[in-house]
């Protein structure tokens, strides 16, 4: 046993060396062309749109990034950090990092170093202007010296550094640039300390970035171009035709199989999204547990997911996706079973009996609802499920809506009972979707369970991972047992890239072309 392990080690080392040998063929220079759908401004604090965040993250550096392999924070502008007590995080900054020069704010050769004071300014500005992300309850941010920042929180907050949507979003911004250009002007003339400098920005056409010659790492690429392609189908055609090198996010999972077969194209998987059936637990008759429970038993989720999504997705039994920093709860799968007969029995027990037209009804009211959804792979999954419900005499239908209408209907509860439930599954998705404080906003289930709230609140204050994990999974279990949602599947996320592109890391809270983990180059 020991021997074979040693042999394995030798093989691994040999492989690593071989990889290193091919890696040494990295080429300098060249242009990377990235497709985008919509970029209207580049202030990194004022957007939740992937394209805008991707473009902005070339210009700016965050304190840390979310690592490519295990979704744990890895150092970037901050060399290290530690919790010096339960409510205080201390960050040590990298020395010698300079803001970009050769622009209106910092003339060539007159840039200044990024210091702790810039981090303080950035966190404060973020708190003030960010519409997309919240940092939690921050009570203070101070520069201890030029290279040390302390952030204090009202309560212990482990998510501040582990969740992709918290401090990882706060890139460092020089106050001179915001003051010089003003809020609106800064959004067109971003200046940061990142690996690429913005050279041109033509709305609905292209953005051009050039290598920051003074960057603290050594970017391989000379230029990065963002090319405007609003139609997702055309984006992948453009990669095939060689007009762009990368589509950062593949919208249509149905095209994965075909793209995998296409020579010259590489699919890069990473993370993904949670997709399920959400239930507004205040809309009759879905305010009754039995009705929700019966619906969950009436649909053959395995079959639908296998037919439409696999192998580019995974059956989900809860909301916590496999790629965030919580463990999977294998016992969750026992909560869900496909048993249409039992479903009918449960419905009968609460008074739903077949009416004249075969539709189940109670007191003359048919069991009727339409599932509100937006476009995506779920439409085909839901179509299968709706058919199964109809066969049982449940008058279910599918209603595909425009995103803005869907969002409003779900938030206002406007005639909404069952809906397509979606989150791109950041670490704290469970909190957004089910905590009562978010009801009517991100919690469109209008789910309010004091016990779940307590568990989620307590978990959010628990620094020790094991305990936090336990509380979080317990909350998830309660929510699922309550049938506030019926999880369907996790859809994997992909970048589509030409095989000329190397060391690409699928954006996760920002696009990182040059970091301590990778350095993108093109053949």
Partner 1 sequence: MVPVLLGIAFITFALVSFAPGDAIRLMLGSESVNVANVERLRRELGLDLPWYHQFWNYLLGLLQGDLGTSIASRQPVADQIFQRFPNTIILTVASLVVALVIAIPLGVFAASRHNRAGDYVALGFAMLGVAMPNFWLGLLLLIVFGLELRWLPIRGIGSLEDGILDYASHLVLPAVTLGTSLAAILTRLTRNTMLDVLGEDYVRTARAKGVRPDRVLFRHALRNALLPLVTAAGMQFGALLGGAVIIETVFSWPGLGLLSINAIRQRDLPTMQGSVLVFAASFMLVMLITDLLYAAINPRIRYG
Shortest distance in whole angstroms from residue 141 CB to partner 1 = 17
Closer CB to partner 1, 358 or 440, in the complex: 440
Closer CB to partner 1, 3 or 241, in the complex: 241
Closer CB to partner 1, 383 or 442, in the complex: 442
Q: At what angle do helices 301-308 and 378-391 cross, to 10 degrees?
A: 150
Read off the DSSP letter of residue 167.
G
Closer CB to partner 1, 80 or 258, in the complex: 258
Shortest distance in whole angstroms from residue 432 CB to partner 1 = 5
Give the separation between CA 28 and CA 199, rounded to whole angstroms.
20
Closer CB to partner 1, 52 or 197, in the complex: 52
Give the separation between CA 169 and CA 474, rounded to whole angstroms.
28
Q: Are 222 and 29 in contact (CB under 8 A)?
A: yes
- Binding positions for partner 1, rule: CB under 8 A: 38, 40-41, 48, 128-134, 165, 184, 187, 202-206, 227-231, 233-234, 237-238, 240-241, 243, 402-411, 414, 423-424, 426, 429, 432-433, 441-442, 444
Measured in whole angstroms, the distance separating CA 46 from the mean position of its chain's CA atoms is 17
Shortest distance in whole angstroms from residue 471 CB to partner 1 = 21
Shortest distance in whole angstroms from residue 33 CB to partner 1 = 11
Phi–psi pair at 99, nearest 5 degrees: -70, 160
Phi–psi pair at 144, nearest 5 degrees: -75, -45
Q: At what angle do helices 450-460 and 465-481 cross, to 10 degrees?
A: 160
Closer CB to partner 1, 231 or 310, in the complex: 231
Give the separation between CA 9 and CA 110, rounded to whole angstroms.
50
Shortest distance in whole angstroms from residue 139 CB to partner 1 = 16
How would DSSP label each residue in 380-404?
A: HHHHHHHHHHHHTT-EEEEEE--HH
Shortest distance in whole angstroms from residue 285 CB to partner 1 = 24
Query: Distances in Å between the alpha carbon of 279 and those of 336, 371, 439?
Result: 16, 9, 13
Closer CB to partner 1, 41 or 193, in the complex: 41
Shortest distance in whole angstroms from residue 182 CB to partner 1 = 11
Minimal CA–CA distance to 225: which of 213, 243, 251? 243
């Amino acid at each position: 046993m020991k021997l074979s392990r040693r042999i394995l080690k030798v093989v691994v080392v040999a492989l690593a060396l071989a990889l290193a040998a091919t890696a040494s063929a990295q080429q300098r220079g060249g242009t990377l062309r990235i497709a985008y759908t919509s970029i209207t401004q580049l202030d990194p604090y004022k957007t939740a749109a992937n394209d805008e965040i991707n473009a902005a993250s070339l210009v700016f550096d965050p304190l840390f990034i979310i690592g490519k392999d295990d979704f744990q924070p890895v150092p970037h502008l901050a060399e290290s950090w530690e919790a010096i007590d339960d409510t205080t995080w201390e960050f040590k900054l990298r020395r010698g990092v300079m803001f970009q020069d050769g622009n209106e704010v910092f003339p060539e050769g007159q840039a200044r170093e990024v210091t702790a004071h810039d981090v303080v300014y950035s966190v404060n500005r973020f708190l003030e202007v960010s519409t997309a992300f919240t940092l939690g309850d921050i009570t203070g941010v101070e520069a201890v010296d030029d290279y040390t920042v302390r952030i204090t929180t009202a309560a212990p907050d482990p998510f501040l550094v582990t969740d992709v949507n918290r401090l990882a979003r706060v890139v460092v911004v020089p106050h001179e640039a915001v003051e010089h250009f003003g809020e609106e002007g800064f959004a067109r003339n971003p200046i940061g300390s990142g690996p690429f400098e913005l050279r041109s920005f033509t709305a609905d056409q292209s953005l051009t970035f050039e290598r920051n010659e003074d960057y603290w790492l050594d970017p391989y690429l000379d230029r990065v171009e963002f090319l405007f392609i609003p139609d997702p189908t055309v984006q992948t055609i453009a990669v095939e035709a060689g007009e762009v090198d990368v589509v950062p996010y593949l919208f249509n999972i149905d095209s994965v199989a075909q793209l995998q077969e296409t020579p010259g194209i590489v699919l890069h998987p990473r993370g993904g999204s949670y997709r399920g059936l959400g239930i507004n637990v205040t809309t009759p008759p879905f305010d009754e547990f039995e009705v929700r429970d019966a619906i969950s038993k009436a649909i053959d989720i395995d079959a639908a997911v296998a037919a439409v999504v696999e192998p580019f997705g995974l059956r989900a039994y809860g909301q916590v996706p496999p790629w965030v920093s919580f463990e999977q709860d294998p016992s969750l799968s026992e909560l869900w079973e496909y048993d249409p007969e039992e479903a009918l029995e449960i419905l009968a027990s609460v008074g739903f009996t077949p009416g004249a037209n075969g539709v189940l009804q109670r007191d003359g009211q048919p069991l009727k609802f339409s599932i509100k959804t937006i476009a995506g792979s779920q439409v085909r999954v839901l179509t299968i499920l709706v058919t199964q419900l109809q066969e049982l005499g449940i008058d279910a239908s599918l209603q595909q809506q425009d995103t803005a209408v869907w969002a409003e209907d779900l938030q206002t509860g406007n005639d909404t009972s069952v809906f397509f439930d979606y989150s791109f599954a950041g670490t704290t998705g469970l909190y957004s979707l089910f905590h009562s404080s978010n009801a009517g906003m991100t919690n469109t289930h209008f789910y309010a369970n004091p016990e779940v709230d307590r568990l989620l609140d307590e978990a959010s204050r628990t620094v020790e991972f094991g305990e936090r994990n336990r509380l979080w999974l317990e909350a998830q279990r309660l929510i699922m047992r309550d049938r506030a949602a019926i999880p369907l599947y996790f859809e994997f996320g992909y970048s589509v890239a030409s095989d000329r592109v190397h060391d690409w890391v699928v954006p996760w809270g920002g696009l990182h072309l040059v970091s301590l983990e990778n350095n993108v180059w093109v053949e």
